[in-house]
A and B are shown apart, each in its own frame.
Chain A
Protein backbone atom coordinates (compact mmCIF):
# COMPACT_ATOMS: atom_id res chain seq x y z
CA UNK A 1 0.00 0.00 0.00
CA UNK A 2 1.24 3.49 -0.81
CA UNK A 3 2.41 5.83 2.02
CA UNK A 4 -0.49 7.95 3.29
CA UNK A 5 -0.26 11.59 2.16
CA UNK A 6 0.34 14.09 4.96
CA UNK A 7 -1.93 17.09 5.52
CA UNK A 8 -0.35 20.30 4.15
CA UNK A 9 -1.21 22.18 7.32
CA UNK A 10 -0.54 19.67 10.09
CA UNK A 11 1.05 16.26 10.48
CA UNK A 12 -2.12 14.12 10.26
CA UNK A 13 -2.98 11.93 7.28
CA UNK A 14 -4.74 13.80 4.49
CA UNK A 15 -8.18 12.59 3.54
CA UNK A 16 -9.33 15.58 1.48
CA UNK A 17 -7.54 16.15 -1.84
CA UNK A 18 -8.30 19.20 -3.92
CA UNK A 19 -7.20 20.57 -7.25
CA UNK A 20 -8.00 24.05 -8.46
CA UNK A 21 -6.98 25.77 -11.69
CA UNK A 22 -6.34 29.51 -11.35
CA UNK A 23 -5.26 31.42 -14.47
CA UNK A 24 -4.20 28.19 -16.12
CA UNK A 25 -2.05 27.05 -13.19
CA UNK A 26 -2.83 23.91 -11.26
CA UNK A 27 -2.77 24.03 -7.46
CA UNK A 28 -3.13 20.88 -5.38
CA UNK A 29 -3.85 20.71 -1.69
CA UNK A 30 -4.08 17.71 0.63
CA UNK A 31 -5.78 18.17 3.98
CA UNK A 32 -6.90 16.18 6.98
CA UNK A 33 -10.56 16.35 7.89
CA UNK A 34 -10.08 18.80 10.78
CA UNK A 35 -8.08 21.30 8.73
CA UNK A 36 -10.47 20.96 5.80
CA UNK A 37 -13.40 21.87 8.04
CA UNK A 38 -11.49 24.68 9.69
CA UNK A 39 -10.59 26.22 6.34
CA UNK A 40 -14.18 26.02 5.12
CA UNK A 41 -13.35 23.60 2.32
CA UNK A 42 -16.85 22.18 2.64
CA UNK A 43 -18.23 25.52 1.50
CA UNK A 44 -17.47 25.62 -2.25
CA UNK A 45 -18.50 29.28 -2.58
CA UNK A 46 -16.22 30.70 0.10
CA UNK A 47 -13.14 28.63 -0.56
CA UNK A 48 -10.01 29.35 -2.56
CA UNK A 49 -6.96 27.14 -2.67
CA UNK A 50 -4.93 30.31 -2.98
CA UNK A 51 -5.77 31.06 0.64
CA UNK A 52 -4.18 27.79 1.66
CA UNK A 53 -1.06 27.78 -0.39
CA UNK A 54 1.13 29.65 2.09
CA UNK A 55 4.36 30.99 0.58
CA UNK A 56 3.13 31.21 -3.00
CA UNK A 57 0.03 33.15 -2.22
CA UNK A 58 1.70 36.52 -2.13
CA UNK A 59 3.40 36.01 -5.48
CA UNK A 60 0.18 34.74 -7.01
CA UNK A 61 -1.60 37.83 -5.80
CA UNK A 62 1.15 40.08 -7.06
CA UNK A 63 0.94 38.36 -10.41
CA UNK A 64 -2.81 38.94 -10.47
CA UNK A 65 -2.70 42.57 -9.34
CA UNK A 66 -3.94 44.97 -12.04
CA UNK A 67 -0.94 46.08 -14.10
CA UNK A 68 -2.04 49.70 -14.25
CA UNK A 69 -1.81 49.97 -10.43
CA UNK A 70 0.60 52.72 -9.36
CA UNK A 71 0.94 54.91 -6.29
CA UNK A 72 0.26 58.45 -7.52
CA UNK A 73 2.29 59.92 -4.67
CA UNK A 74 5.58 57.98 -4.91
CA UNK A 75 5.28 56.09 -8.21
CA UNK A 76 5.51 52.67 -6.57
CA UNK A 77 4.07 49.70 -8.48
CA UNK A 78 3.23 46.06 -7.64
CA UNK A 79 6.40 45.08 -9.55
CA UNK A 80 8.43 47.24 -7.14
CA UNK A 81 6.82 45.46 -4.21
CA UNK A 82 7.65 42.11 -5.72
CA UNK A 83 11.27 43.20 -6.04
CA UNK A 84 11.74 44.95 -2.66
CA UNK A 85 9.14 43.28 -0.44
CA UNK A 86 8.32 46.69 1.04
CA UNK A 87 6.10 49.59 0.09
CA UNK A 88 7.13 53.02 -1.16
CA UNK A 89 5.23 55.45 1.04
CA UNK A 90 2.25 55.64 3.42
CA UNK A 91 -0.08 56.51 0.51
CA UNK A 92 0.70 53.15 -1.15
CA UNK A 93 -1.77 51.60 1.29
CA UNK A 94 -4.54 53.64 -0.36
CA UNK A 95 -3.25 53.70 -3.92
CA UNK A 96 -2.29 50.01 -4.14
CA UNK A 97 -5.26 48.83 -2.09
CA UNK A 98 -6.24 45.92 -4.41
CA UNK A 99 -2.73 44.53 -3.96
CA UNK A 100 -2.41 45.11 -0.22
CA UNK A 101 -5.78 44.22 1.31
CA UNK A 102 -5.73 40.51 0.37
CA UNK A 103 -2.20 40.24 1.79
CA UNK A 104 -3.27 41.84 5.07
CA UNK A 105 -6.20 39.45 5.37
CA UNK A 106 -3.75 36.58 4.98
CA UNK A 107 -1.10 37.91 7.38
CA UNK A 108 -3.04 39.33 10.28
CA UNK A 109 -5.73 38.58 12.83
CA UNK A 110 -8.04 41.16 11.22
CA UNK A 111 -7.99 43.92 8.63
CA UNK A 112 -9.07 46.83 10.80
CA UNK A 113 -6.85 48.57 13.35
CA UNK A 114 -7.91 48.16 16.96
CA UNK A 115 -4.91 49.63 18.77
CA UNK A 116 -3.73 53.01 19.98
CA UNK A 117 -4.47 56.28 18.19
CA UNK A 118 -2.01 59.16 17.60
CA UNK A 119 -4.30 61.93 18.84
CA UNK A 120 -1.96 64.86 18.17
CA UNK A 121 -1.29 63.69 14.62
CA UNK A 122 -5.00 63.34 13.88
CA UNK A 123 -5.83 66.78 15.29
CA UNK A 124 -3.04 68.44 13.31
CA UNK A 125 -3.92 66.59 10.11
CA UNK A 126 -7.60 67.58 10.47
CA UNK A 127 -6.64 71.22 11.05
CA UNK A 128 -4.38 71.15 8.01
CA UNK A 129 -7.16 69.65 5.89
CA UNK A 130 -9.62 72.35 6.99
CA UNK A 131 -7.17 75.12 6.11
CA UNK A 132 -6.36 73.54 2.75
CA UNK A 133 -10.09 73.38 1.94
CA UNK A 134 -10.64 77.01 2.98
CA UNK A 135 -7.67 78.18 0.93
CA UNK A 136 -9.00 76.32 -2.11
CA UNK A 137 -12.42 77.98 -1.64
CA UNK A 138 -10.76 81.38 -1.30
CA UNK A 139 -8.83 80.91 -4.51
CA UNK A 140 -11.98 79.84 -6.33
CA UNK A 141 -13.99 82.80 -4.99
CA UNK A 142 -11.28 85.25 -6.11
CA UNK A 143 -11.08 83.66 -9.58
CA UNK A 144 -14.85 83.93 -9.92
CA UNK A 145 -14.75 87.53 -8.62
CA UNK A 146 -17.06 86.74 -5.69
CA UNK A 147 -15.27 89.21 -3.46
CA UNK A 148 -17.79 89.26 -0.60
CA UNK A 149 -17.49 85.48 -0.32
CA UNK A 150 -13.72 85.79 -0.52
CA UNK A 151 -13.67 88.23 2.40
CA UNK A 152 -15.83 85.89 4.50
CA UNK A 153 -13.56 82.96 3.70
CA UNK A 154 -10.46 85.00 4.51
CA UNK A 155 -11.95 85.82 7.96
CA UNK A 156 -12.71 82.13 8.46
CA UNK A 157 -9.09 81.29 7.62
CA UNK A 158 -7.81 83.83 10.16
CA UNK A 159 -10.18 82.44 12.81
CA UNK A 160 -9.06 78.89 12.03
CA UNK A 161 -5.36 79.78 12.29
CA UNK A 162 -5.95 81.53 15.63
CA UNK A 163 -7.92 78.54 16.90
CA UNK A 164 -5.18 76.12 15.83
CA UNK A 165 -2.49 78.19 17.46
CA UNK A 166 -4.55 78.35 20.66
CA UNK A 167 -4.93 74.56 20.60
CA UNK A 168 -1.17 74.16 20.20
CA UNK A 169 -0.45 76.48 23.12
CA UNK A 170 -2.62 74.31 25.38
Chain B
Protein backbone atom coordinates (compact mmCIF):
# COMPACT_ATOMS: atom_id res chain seq x y z
CA UNK B 1 0.00 0.00 0.00
CA UNK B 2 1.11 3.49 -0.83
CA UNK B 3 1.42 6.54 1.37
CA UNK B 4 3.40 5.07 4.21
CA UNK B 5 3.66 7.40 7.06
CA UNK B 6 6.20 10.12 7.03
CA UNK B 7 7.45 9.93 10.57
CA UNK B 8 9.68 12.96 10.17
CA UNK B 9 6.63 15.06 9.36
CA UNK B 10 4.91 13.65 12.40
CA UNK B 11 7.81 14.36 14.71
CA UNK B 12 8.31 17.85 13.37
CA UNK B 13 4.66 18.62 14.02
CA UNK B 14 3.59 19.65 17.51
CA UNK B 15 3.44 16.69 19.90
CA UNK B 16 -0.19 15.67 20.23
CA UNK B 17 0.15 14.91 23.90
CA UNK B 18 1.57 18.29 24.68
CA UNK B 19 -0.15 20.30 22.02
CA UNK B 20 -0.52 24.01 22.53
CA UNK B 21 -4.31 24.10 22.44
CA UNK B 22 -5.99 23.37 25.72
CA UNK B 23 -2.90 22.43 27.70
CA UNK B 24 -3.08 25.57 29.81
CA UNK B 25 -4.54 23.74 32.75
CA UNK B 26 -2.30 22.74 35.59
CA UNK B 27 -2.50 19.11 36.74
CA UNK B 28 -4.20 17.58 33.67
CA UNK B 29 -1.89 16.92 30.79
CA UNK B 30 -4.04 14.94 28.36
CA UNK B 31 -7.10 12.74 27.86
CA UNK B 32 -7.17 9.46 26.01
CA UNK B 33 -10.00 7.12 25.05
CA UNK B 34 -9.63 3.83 23.26
CA UNK B 35 -12.08 1.25 21.98
CA UNK B 36 -11.20 -2.42 21.54
CA UNK B 37 -12.99 -4.02 18.59
CA UNK B 38 -12.68 -7.34 16.78
CA UNK B 39 -13.97 -8.69 13.51
CA UNK B 40 -16.56 -11.46 13.70
CA UNK B 41 -15.52 -14.90 12.41
CA UNK B 42 -11.74 -14.40 12.83
CA UNK B 43 -9.51 -15.64 15.67
CA UNK B 44 -8.10 -12.88 17.88
CA UNK B 45 -4.67 -11.65 16.68
CA UNK B 46 -2.67 -13.62 19.26
CA UNK B 47 -4.27 -16.92 18.18
CA UNK B 48 -4.64 -16.18 14.45
CA UNK B 49 -2.45 -17.72 11.75
CA UNK B 50 -0.28 -15.43 9.64
CA UNK B 51 -2.68 -15.56 6.67
CA UNK B 52 -5.62 -14.63 8.91
CA UNK B 53 -3.70 -11.72 10.45
CA UNK B 54 -2.81 -10.47 6.97
CA UNK B 55 -6.42 -10.75 5.83
CA UNK B 56 -7.67 -8.78 8.85
CA UNK B 57 -4.94 -6.18 8.36
CA UNK B 58 -5.86 -5.68 4.71
CA UNK B 59 -9.58 -5.32 5.45
CA UNK B 60 -9.04 -2.94 8.37
CA UNK B 61 -6.52 -0.72 6.55
CA UNK B 62 -8.89 -0.34 3.58
CA UNK B 63 -11.84 0.62 5.77
CA UNK B 64 -10.09 2.86 8.31
CA UNK B 65 -8.21 4.85 5.64
CA UNK B 66 -11.62 5.84 4.22
CA UNK B 67 -13.19 7.12 7.45
CA UNK B 68 -13.91 10.81 6.77
CA UNK B 69 -13.38 11.85 10.40
CA UNK B 70 -9.84 10.45 10.30
CA UNK B 71 -8.40 13.35 8.35
CA UNK B 72 -5.20 13.08 6.28
CA UNK B 73 -4.50 9.55 7.51
CA UNK B 74 -0.96 8.23 7.42
CA UNK B 75 -0.65 4.52 7.82
CA UNK B 76 0.67 1.19 6.87
CA UNK B 77 2.22 -2.05 8.02
CA UNK B 78 4.35 -1.88 11.11
CA UNK B 79 7.10 -4.09 9.70
CA UNK B 80 7.81 -1.41 7.12
CA UNK B 81 8.87 1.06 9.80
CA UNK B 82 12.36 1.19 11.28
CA UNK B 83 12.85 0.44 14.98
CA UNK B 84 13.53 4.10 15.67
CA UNK B 85 10.34 5.16 13.91
CA UNK B 86 8.36 2.68 16.00
CA UNK B 87 10.03 4.00 19.14
CA UNK B 88 9.02 7.57 18.21
CA UNK B 89 5.38 6.51 17.83
CA UNK B 90 5.53 4.66 21.14
CA UNK B 91 6.91 7.69 22.97
CA UNK B 92 4.12 9.76 21.46
CA UNK B 93 1.57 7.27 22.82
CA UNK B 94 0.35 6.60 19.28
CA UNK B 95 1.18 2.90 19.37
CA UNK B 96 1.70 0.45 22.22
CA UNK B 97 4.66 -1.66 23.30
CA UNK B 98 2.57 -4.74 22.53
CA UNK B 99 2.20 -3.69 18.88
CA UNK B 100 5.97 -3.23 18.61
CA UNK B 101 6.62 -6.68 20.07
CA UNK B 102 4.48 -8.42 17.42
CA UNK B 103 4.99 -6.32 14.29
CA UNK B 104 4.23 -9.11 11.82
CA UNK B 105 0.82 -8.55 10.28
CA UNK B 106 0.30 -5.48 12.44
CA UNK B 107 -0.46 -1.99 11.22
CA UNK B 108 -1.29 1.52 12.32
CA UNK B 109 -3.15 4.51 10.96
CA UNK B 110 -2.52 7.94 12.43
CA UNK B 111 -4.24 11.25 11.97
CA UNK B 112 -3.13 14.42 13.70
CA UNK B 113 -5.16 17.59 13.71
CA UNK B 114 -4.87 20.86 15.59
CA UNK B 115 -6.54 19.68 18.76
CA UNK B 116 -6.10 15.96 18.85
CA UNK B 117 -4.44 12.83 17.58
CA UNK B 118 -6.24 9.70 16.50
CA UNK B 119 -4.55 6.37 15.95
CA UNK B 120 -5.94 3.00 15.00
CA UNK B 121 -3.76 0.01 15.78
CA UNK B 122 -4.49 -3.15 13.81
CA UNK B 123 -3.73 -6.64 15.13
CA UNK B 124 -2.50 -5.51 18.51
CA UNK B 125 -4.17 -7.51 21.30
CA UNK B 126 -7.45 -6.99 19.43
CA UNK B 127 -8.04 -6.60 15.69
CA UNK B 128 -8.74 -2.90 16.15
CA UNK B 129 -7.66 -0.53 18.87
CA UNK B 130 -9.13 2.86 18.04
CA UNK B 131 -7.79 5.66 20.19
CA UNK B 132 -7.99 9.40 20.43
CA UNK B 133 -5.74 11.72 22.44
CA UNK B 134 -6.55 15.30 23.37
CA UNK B 135 -4.86 17.86 25.53
CA UNK B 136 -6.46 18.83 28.80
CA UNK B 137 -9.46 17.05 30.28
CA UNK B 138 -11.95 16.44 27.46
CA UNK B 139 -13.54 13.06 28.10
CA UNK B 140 -16.84 13.98 26.46
CA UNK B 141 -15.34 15.46 23.30
CA UNK B 142 -12.95 12.55 22.95
CA UNK B 143 -15.86 10.12 23.41
CA UNK B 144 -18.05 11.87 20.82
CA UNK B 145 -15.25 11.70 18.29
CA UNK B 146 -14.31 8.08 18.84
CA UNK B 147 -17.97 7.01 18.96
CA UNK B 148 -18.53 8.56 15.53
CA UNK B 149 -15.37 6.94 14.08
CA UNK B 150 -16.44 3.56 15.50
CA UNK B 151 -19.90 3.91 13.90
CA UNK B 152 -18.42 4.59 10.48
CA UNK B 153 -16.00 1.64 10.68
CA UNK B 154 -18.85 -0.62 11.74
CA UNK B 155 -20.83 0.28 8.62
CA UNK B 156 -18.26 -1.71 6.63
CA UNK B 157 -16.91 -4.33 9.06
CA UNK B 158 -18.84 -6.90 11.08
CA UNK B 159 -17.79 -6.64 14.71
CA UNK B 160 -17.59 -9.60 17.08
CA UNK B 161 -20.51 -8.81 19.37
CA UNK B 162 -22.88 -10.64 21.66
CA UNK B 163 -26.15 -9.20 22.92
CA UNK B 164 -25.31 -10.46 26.39
CA UNK B 165 -21.60 -9.58 26.66
CA UNK B 166 -21.24 -6.69 24.20
CA UNK B 167 -18.09 -6.26 22.13
CA UNK B 168 -16.03 -9.45 22.41
CA UNK B 169 -12.34 -8.88 23.09
CA UNK B 170 -9.22 -11.07 23.32
CA UNK B 171 -8.86 -10.32 27.02
CA UNK B 172 -11.98 -10.65 29.18
CA UNK B 173 -10.92 -7.49 31.06
CA UNK B 174 -12.01 -5.41 28.02
CA UNK B 175 -15.25 -7.17 27.07
CA UNK B 176 -18.53 -5.22 27.02
CA UNK B 177 -17.92 -1.65 25.95
CA UNK B 178 -14.25 -2.25 25.09
CA UNK B 179 -13.77 1.27 26.43
CA UNK B 180 -10.71 2.44 28.30
CA UNK B 181 -10.67 6.14 29.13
CA UNK B 182 -7.77 7.78 30.87
CA UNK B 183 -6.25 11.10 31.75
CA UNK B 184 -2.60 11.87 32.35
CA UNK B 185 -2.37 13.80 35.58
CA UNK B 186 0.65 15.64 36.91
CA UNK B 187 0.62 15.05 40.66
CA UNK B 188 3.89 16.32 42.19
CA UNK B 189 2.08 17.64 45.27
CA UNK B 190 0.75 14.22 46.20
CA UNK B 191 4.12 12.58 45.45
CA UNK B 192 6.16 15.09 47.48
CA UNK B 193 3.78 14.87 50.42
CA UNK B 194 3.86 11.03 50.31
CA UNK B 195 0.11 10.67 49.75
CA UNK B 196 0.17 8.89 46.40
CA UNK B 197 0.00 5.35 47.82
CA UNK B 198 -3.10 6.25 49.75
CA UNK B 199 -4.72 7.76 46.66
CA UNK B 200 -3.89 4.69 44.55
CA UNK B 201 -5.43 2.35 47.14
CA UNK B 202 -8.57 4.46 47.43
CA UNK B 203 -9.23 4.77 43.70
CA UNK B 204 -8.46 1.08 43.08
CA UNK B 205 -11.39 0.23 45.28
CA UNK B 206 -13.60 2.29 42.97
CA UNK B 207 -12.57 0.24 39.92
CA UNK B 208 -10.10 2.89 38.73
CA UNK B 209 -6.48 2.04 37.86
CA UNK B 210 -3.40 4.23 38.31
CA UNK B 211 -0.38 3.63 36.07
CA UNK B 212 2.85 5.36 35.14
CA UNK B 213 3.27 7.63 32.11
CA UNK B 214 3.90 4.80 29.64
CA UNK B 215 1.05 2.59 30.79
CA UNK B 216 1.11 -0.82 32.39
CA UNK B 217 4.33 -1.64 34.21
CA UNK B 218 5.91 1.79 33.72
CA UNK B 219 7.04 3.93 36.64
CA UNK B 220 5.56 7.26 37.63
CA UNK B 221 8.42 9.19 36.10
CA UNK B 222 8.02 12.96 36.49
CA UNK B 223 5.06 12.48 38.85
CA UNK B 224 2.79 11.73 35.88
CA UNK B 225 0.05 9.18 36.38
CA UNK B 226 -2.50 7.68 34.01
CA UNK B 227 -5.85 7.31 35.73
CA UNK B 228 -8.23 4.97 33.90
CA UNK B 229 -11.32 2.81 34.30
CA UNK B 230 -10.68 -0.88 34.92
CA UNK B 231 -14.17 -2.21 34.36
CA UNK B 232 -15.81 -2.33 30.94
CA UNK B 233 -18.85 -4.57 31.34
CA UNK B 234 -22.16 -3.91 33.09
CA UNK B 235 -22.47 -0.14 32.69
CA UNK B 236 -22.89 2.30 29.82
CA UNK B 237 -20.04 4.26 28.27
CA UNK B 238 -21.50 7.45 29.75
CA UNK B 239 -21.59 5.94 33.25
CA UNK B 240 -17.96 4.82 32.94
CA UNK B 241 -16.85 8.28 31.85
CA UNK B 242 -18.88 9.98 34.57
CA UNK B 243 -17.39 7.83 37.32
CA UNK B 244 -13.89 8.42 36.02
CA UNK B 245 -14.48 12.14 35.83
CA UNK B 246 -15.71 12.33 39.38
CA UNK B 247 -12.69 10.37 40.67
CA UNK B 248 -10.38 12.66 38.70
CA UNK B 249 -12.00 15.78 40.13
CA UNK B 250 -11.38 14.46 43.63
CA UNK B 251 -7.74 13.62 42.84
CA UNK B 252 -7.24 17.10 41.34
CA UNK B 253 -8.66 18.74 44.45
CA UNK B 254 -6.37 16.62 46.64
CA UNK B 255 -3.39 17.59 44.49
CA UNK B 256 -4.25 21.26 44.78
CA UNK B 257 -4.55 20.93 48.58
CA UNK B 258 -1.25 19.04 48.74
CA UNK B 259 0.53 21.75 46.74
CA UNK B 260 -0.84 24.49 48.99
CA UNK B 261 0.15 22.49 52.04
CA UNK B 262 3.70 21.93 50.85
CA UNK B 263 4.07 25.62 49.97
CA UNK B 264 2.74 26.62 53.35
CA UNK B 265 4.70 24.19 55.52
CA UNK B 266 7.82 23.29 53.58
CA UNK B 267 8.27 26.01 51.00
CA UNK B 268 12.07 26.30 51.22
CA UNK B 269 12.49 22.63 50.44
CA UNK B 270 10.18 22.82 47.41
CA UNK B 271 11.61 26.06 46.06
CA UNK B 272 15.11 24.67 46.51
CA UNK B 273 14.12 21.64 44.41
CA UNK B 274 12.70 23.91 41.70
CA UNK B 275 15.80 26.12 41.72
CA UNK B 276 18.14 23.13 41.47
CA UNK B 277 16.03 21.59 38.70
CA UNK B 278 16.27 24.83 36.71
CA UNK B 279 20.05 25.00 37.27
CA UNK B 280 20.61 21.45 36.05
CA UNK B 281 18.35 21.78 33.02
CA UNK B 282 19.92 25.13 32.12
CA UNK B 283 23.55 24.08 32.62
CA UNK B 284 23.74 20.26 32.88
CA UNK B 285 25.95 18.24 30.53
CA UNK B 286 24.72 14.68 31.16
CA UNK B 287 21.03 14.10 31.79
CA UNK B 288 19.22 10.76 31.64
CA UNK B 289 15.60 10.61 30.47
CA UNK B 290 14.41 9.76 33.96
CA UNK B 291 16.28 12.71 35.49
CA UNK B 292 14.97 14.99 32.76
CA UNK B 293 11.39 13.91 33.48
CA UNK B 294 11.74 14.55 37.19
CA UNK B 295 13.42 17.95 36.77
CA UNK B 296 10.96 19.04 34.08
CA UNK B 297 8.14 18.01 36.37
CA UNK B 298 9.38 20.56 38.93
CA UNK B 299 9.59 23.24 36.22
CA UNK B 300 5.99 22.50 35.24
CA UNK B 301 5.06 22.91 38.90
CA UNK B 302 6.99 26.21 38.97
CA UNK B 303 4.83 27.43 36.07
CA UNK B 304 1.65 26.31 37.88
CA UNK B 305 2.57 28.33 40.98
CA UNK B 306 3.56 31.37 38.94
CA UNK B 307 7.32 31.23 39.50
CA UNK B 308 7.90 30.99 35.75
CA UNK B 309 5.51 32.87 33.41
CA UNK B 310 2.70 30.76 31.94
CA UNK B 311 3.73 31.56 28.36
CA UNK B 312 6.66 29.13 28.79
CA UNK B 313 4.37 26.16 29.33
CA UNK B 314 4.27 25.67 25.57
CA UNK B 315 8.03 25.32 25.57
CA UNK B 316 8.24 23.03 28.61
CA UNK B 317 5.36 20.59 27.94
CA UNK B 318 6.70 19.16 24.64
CA UNK B 319 10.05 18.47 26.34
CA UNK B 320 8.55 15.56 28.29
CA UNK B 321 8.33 13.72 24.96
CA UNK B 322 11.34 15.26 23.26
CA UNK B 323 13.59 13.98 26.07
CA UNK B 324 12.63 10.36 25.50
CA UNK B 325 15.39 8.14 23.99
CA UNK B 326 13.78 7.76 20.55
CA UNK B 327 13.21 11.47 20.11
CA UNK B 328 16.74 12.33 21.24
CA UNK B 329 18.16 9.94 18.63
CA UNK B 330 15.80 11.23 15.99
CA UNK B 331 17.00 14.80 16.64
CA UNK B 332 20.48 13.84 15.41
CA UNK B 333 19.17 11.28 12.95
CA UNK B 334 21.12 8.26 14.20
CA UNK B 335 21.00 5.53 16.81
CA UNK B 336 23.39 6.13 19.72
CA UNK B 337 24.32 4.60 23.09
CA UNK B 338 22.57 5.76 26.29
CA UNK B 339 25.57 7.80 27.55
CA UNK B 340 25.79 9.69 24.27
CA UNK B 341 22.05 10.23 24.44
CA UNK B 342 22.45 11.84 27.85
CA UNK B 343 24.93 14.31 26.33
CA UNK B 344 22.62 15.18 23.44
CA UNK B 345 19.60 15.39 25.76
CA UNK B 346 21.45 17.82 28.03
CA UNK B 347 22.37 19.93 24.99
CA UNK B 348 18.74 20.05 23.81
CA UNK B 349 17.65 21.07 27.29
CA UNK B 350 20.35 23.74 27.67
CA UNK B 351 19.30 25.25 24.37
CA UNK B 352 15.59 25.30 25.34
CA UNK B 353 16.25 26.60 28.83
CA UNK B 354 18.35 29.46 27.52
CA UNK B 355 14.97 30.95 26.54
CA UNK B 356 13.23 30.24 29.85
CA UNK B 357 13.78 32.79 32.64
CA UNK B 358 14.91 31.53 36.01
CA UNK B 359 12.15 30.96 38.56
CA UNK B 360 11.28 33.82 40.90
CA UNK B 361 9.58 33.28 44.23
CA UNK B 362 9.02 36.86 45.44
CA UNK B 363 5.30 36.82 44.51
CA UNK B 364 4.73 33.92 46.88
CA UNK B 365 5.36 36.21 49.89
CA UNK B 366 7.30 33.55 51.71
A interface residues with partner B (beta carbon < 8 Å): 11, 74, 76, 80, 84-90, 93-94, 100, 103-104, 107-122, 124-125
Chain A residues within an 8 Å CB radius of B150: 116
CA distance A116 to B146 in the complex (A): 12
Residue from the list A87, A94, A100, A113 in contact with B177, Cβ < 8 A? A113
Chain B residues within an 8 Å CB radius of A85: 171
Contact of B237 with A by CB under 8 A = yes
Main secondary structure of the interface of A (DSSP, over half): loop
Q: Would B234 and A109 count as touching, CB distance under 8 A?
A: yes
Residue from the list A84, A93, A117 in contact with B175, Cβ < 8 A? A93
Contact of B43 with A by CB under 8 A = yes
Contact of B125 with A by CB under 8 A = yes
Contact of B216 with A by CB under 8 A = no
Residue from the list A109, A117, A120 in contact with B233, Cβ < 8 A? A109
Q: Would A113 and B233 count as touching, CB distance under 8 A?
A: yes
Chain A residues within an 8 Å CB radius of B157: 121
Output the residue of B38, B147, B163, B168 with the most chain A CB within 10 A: B168
Known A-B contacts A113-B164, A120-B154, A121-B154; A86 and B171 likewise in contact (beta carbons under 8 Å): yes
CA distance A86 to B150 in the complex (A): 23
Contact of B166 with A by CB under 8 A = yes
Q: Which residue of chain B lies nearest to A86 when distances are taken between CB atoms in the complex?
A: B170
Residue from the list A89, A111, A112, A117 in contact with B44, Cβ < 8 A? A89
Q: Would B168 and A90 count as touching, CB distance under 8 A?
A: yes
CB distance from B52 to the nearest CB of A (A): 10
Contact of B160 with A by CB under 8 A = yes
Q: Would B42 and A89 count as touching, CB distance under 8 A?
A: yes
Q: Would B47 and A108 count as touching, CB distance under 8 A?
A: no
Contact of B232 with A by CB under 8 A = yes
Known A-B contacts A88-B43, A115-B179; A104 and B172 likewise in contact (beta carbons under 8 Å): yes
CA distance A94 to B164 in the complex (A): 11
Chain B residues within an 8 Å CB radius of A121: 40, 154, 157-159, 161
What's the tally of chain B residues with a CB closer than 8 Å to chain A? 44
CB distance from B153 to the nearest CB of A (A): 10
Q: Would B161 and A76 count as touching, CB distance under 8 A?
A: no
Contact flags (1/0) for B179-212 with A, using CB distance below 8 Å?
A: 1000000000000000000000100000100000
Contact of B337 with A by CB under 8 A = no
Q: Would B237 and A115 count as touching, CB distance under 8 A?
A: yes
Q: Would A93 and B236 count as touching, CB distance under 8 A?
A: no
Chain A residues within an 8 Å CB radius of B250: none
Q: Would A89 and B47 count as touching, CB distance under 8 A?
A: yes
Known: A84-B46, A100-B172, A104-B175. 14 other contacts (CB 8 A): A11-B201, A87-B172, A88-B47, A89-B44, A90-B40, A93-B168, A108-B232, A109-B234, A112-B165, A113-B166, A114-B239, A118-B154, A124-B158, A125-B158
Chain A residues within an 8 Å CB radius of B47: 74, 76, 80, 84, 86-89
Q: Would A107 and B177 count as touching, CB distance under 8 A?
A: no
Q: Would B40 and A108 count as touching, CB distance under 8 A?
A: no
Q: Would B236 and A114 count as touching, CB distance under 8 A?
A: yes
Output the residue of B46, B47, B167, B235 with the most chain A CB within 10 A: B47
Residue from the list B165, B173, B201 in contact with A113, Cβ < 8 A? B165
CA distance A107 to B237 in the complex (A): 17
Q: Would B159 and A111 count as touching, CB distance under 8 A?
A: no
Known A-B contacts A76-B47, A87-B44, A116-B177; A110 and B234 likewise in contact (beta carbons under 8 Å): yes
Output the residue of A84, A88, A110, A116 with the most chain B CB within 10 A: A116
Contact of B176 with A by CB under 8 A = yes
Contact of B162 with A by CB under 8 A = yes
Residue from the list B158, B168, B173, B177 in contact with A115, Cβ < 8 A? B177
Output the residue of B147, B160, B179 with the most chain A CB within 10 A: B160
Q: Would A113 and B176 count as touching, CB distance under 8 A?
A: yes
Chain A residues within an 8 Å CB radius of B297: none
Q: Which residue of chain A lies nearest to B158 when distances are taken between CB atoms in the complex?
A: A121
Output the residue of A88, A94, A103, A107 with the most chain B CB within 10 A: A107
CA distance A121 to B168 in the complex (A): 13
Contact of B231 with A by CB under 8 A = yes
Chain A residues within an 8 Å CB radius of B168: 90, 93
Q: Would B160 and A90 count as touching, CB distance under 8 A?
A: yes
Contact of B218 with A by CB under 8 A = no
Chain B residues within an 8 Å CB radius of A88: 43-44, 47
Q: Which residue of chain B lies nearest to A107 when distances are taken between CB atoms in the complex?
A: B173
Please provide the chain B residues from 53 to 90 with a CB less than 8 Å away from any CB of chain A in the complex.
Answer: none
Chain A residues within an 8 Å CB radius of B365: none
Chain A residues within an 8 Å CB radius of B246: none
Contact of B249 with A by CB under 8 A = no
CA distance A38 to B362 in the complex (A): 52
Closest 7 pairs between A and B when the two form their complex, measured CB to CB = A110-B234, A113-B166, A90-B160, A109-B234, A108-B233, A115-B177, A88-B47
Chain A residues within an 8 Å CB radius of B158: 121, 124-125
Q: Which residue of chain A lies nearest to B166 when distances are taken between CB atoms in the complex?
A: A113
